[in-house]
Chain A
Amino acid sequence: METRRQALLDELPRLRRYARMLVGDPAHADDLVQDCLVRAISNLDRWQLGTNMRAWLFTIMRNVLFNNLRRARRSPFLDCGGDAMDTVPVAADQEQRMRVLDVDKAFTRLPSAHKEVFLLIAVEGLDYEEAAQILGVPVGTVKSRLSRARNDLRTSLDKSDKPQPQDADFAERIRRGA
């Protein structure tokens, strides 16, 4: 039978990653995880074995983040800056590597609210209901926010793309075998 300690231990990598992708700076992220863990441990007897610890921990994490930001008198929705990656993940080819770097940079510039829906749905794979509970908003808001987050990310990536040859000219040259 799984113990509570093991359940908590199992969630540490994801918790840490969530914090890191939200705030960027590794030291800040780990401080958040520390605060979150302290709270989780002291409230652990309120969590029932077999229920969704991940969602519970993410909720605590958000509370910690907002409380810390409020104490520092900053808006919770200001971007905290910093890239999530120290090194580029291994990618299959050069184009993919460049894209990963670009996406990382563009992601860090998203508002926190957009980062959160991206992380919870597209990265953690939570369903809308779970994400809605963690974020404290209706399911419809989660959906529209995620859609907007994706499109804002894409728009900012489009802006930073280098100019390409006209598609029509390129297609024509290909067809003529040039």
Chain B
Amino acid sequence: MKLQPPITDDDIEALLTGHLSPARRRVVEDALGAQPDLRRRVEALQADQDALRAIAADLLSEPIPDRFLALLDADAASLDRPARRRHGT
């Protein structure tokens, strides 16, 4: 029987946020394949994150209210005045 290396919480986090190296990802997915309960939980966590991202993506597409644009325009001149010179820059 092939020994599976332990999967850490960091591995699961990295899997969920897409930060695993391809090699480590293969190892983690193999190990999950041998642990159905853990795999199911990770799949559920992934689905939760996908749902949250769907909500977030939807919110990003809302138009910006005029009052915020007006704030930027009211200060147009001062917004892009040159930065104060800092010591050493």
Asked if A and B are interacting partners, one says yes
A99 near B51 with CB under 8 A, answer yes
Name B's interface SS: helix
In the complex, the answer to whether B41 meets A21 with C-beta atoms within 8 Å is no
Q: What chain A residues lie within 8 Å of B9 (beta carbons)?
A: 143, 147
Range for the number of chain A residues in contact with chain B: 35 or more
Nearest CB of B to A7, in Å: 10
B3: Cβ under 8 A from any A Cβ: no
Q: Is B13 an interface residue (CB 8 A)?
A: yes
B1 within 8 A of partner (CB): no
Q: Does A58 contact B (CB under 8 A)?
A: no
User: With an 8 A cutoff between CB atoms, is A137 at the interface?
Assistant: no
A30 to B84, CA, bound (A): 30
Asked if B48 and A153 sit within 8 Å, CB to CB, the answer is: yes
B60 near A5 with CB under 8 A, answer: no
A-contact 0/1 string along B47-83, CB 8 Å cutoff? 1110111111111111011011101100110111101
Q: Are A143 and B52 in contact (CB under 8 A)?
A: no
Write the nearest CB–CB distance from B50 to chain A, whole angstroms.
8
Residue of A nearest to B63 (CB): A13
Q: Mark A1-40, 1 if CB is under 8 A from B, else 0.
A: 0011100110011101100110000000010011001100
Separation of A103 and B56 alpha carbons in the complex (Å): 12
Partner of A96, one of B16, B17, B51, B78: B51
Complex interface: chain A residues within 8 A of B76 (CB): 5
B7 within 8 A of A: no
- Residues of A96-149 at the interface with B, using a CB-CB cut-off of 8 Å, are 96, 99-100, 102-104, 107, 118-119, 121-123, 125, 143, 146-147
Is B62 a contact of A103 with CB atoms below 8 Å? Answer: no
Q: Which residue of A lies closest to B84 (CB)?
A: A45
B49/A5 in contact, CB under 8 A: no
CB closest chain-B residue, reference A104:
B55
User: Which residues from chain B contact A60 at a C-beta distance below 8 Å?
Assistant: none
Measured CA separation A121–B54 after assembly (Å): 15
Chain A contacts for B83, CB-based, 8 A: 45, 48-49
Within 8 A of B (CB), among A60-86: 84-85
Task: Using A13-B62, A85-B59, A147-B9 as known contacts, list a sample of 9 further A-B pairs with CB atoms less than 8 Å apart, ordered by residue number in A.
Answer: A5-B72, A13-B64, A16-B62, A16-B64, A16-B68, A21-B56, A84-B55, A89-B58, A100-B54
Q: List 17 A-B contacts (CB under 8 A).
A: A4-B79, A9-B69, A16-B59, A17-B56, A37-B68, A41-B71, A41-B79, A45-B83, A45-B84, A89-B55, A100-B54, A107-B55, A121-B17, A122-B52, A146-B13, A154-B45, A154-B48
